[in-house]
């Protein structure tokens, strides 16, 4: 059975931005040519690479919103 070029995904260059702001170019099937992929977790913050110490990055205020909505809940503590 012969394969056609349409069976393969579009493989192109994108920019990857790490949590510390550094970036690099790589080839990927993500998005389209020239897109930017912003990572929330990368080797500098993930506990698997940092020896178990986890750093929470509050990207976009999600952690702050969660704490303001649910921070006062006791979950059965007396």
Q: What is the pLDDT of residues 9-35, one digit of tens each?
A: 889 999 999 988 999 999 999 999 999
Per-residue pLDDT, averaged over 37-65, amounts to: 74
Domain ranges of the chain: 8-42
Nearest alpha carbon to residue 32 among 65, 4, 10:
10
Q: Give the span between the Cα atoms of 9 and 2, in whole angstroms.
A: 17
The answer, as to whether pTM is greater than 0.85, is no
8 A C-beta contact, residue 45 and residue 57: yes
pLDDT-derived band at 8 (thresholds 50, 70, 90) equals confident
CA 6 to chain centre: 29
pLDDT digit string, tens, across residues 42-55 = 887 777 777 765 56
Tokens standing for 70?
Answer: 């649910």
8 A C-beta contact, residue 12 and residue 25: no
């Amino acid at each position: 059975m012969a394969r056609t070029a349409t069976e393969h995904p579009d493989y192109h260059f994108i920019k990857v931005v790490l949590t510390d702001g550094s970036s690099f170019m790589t080839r990927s099937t993500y998005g389209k040519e020239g897109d930017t992929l912003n990572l929330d977790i990368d080797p500098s913050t993930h506990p698997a690479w940092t020896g178990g110490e986890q750093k929470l990055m509050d990207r976009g205020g999600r952690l702050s919103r969660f704490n303001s909505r649910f921070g006062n809940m006791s979950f059965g503590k007396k």
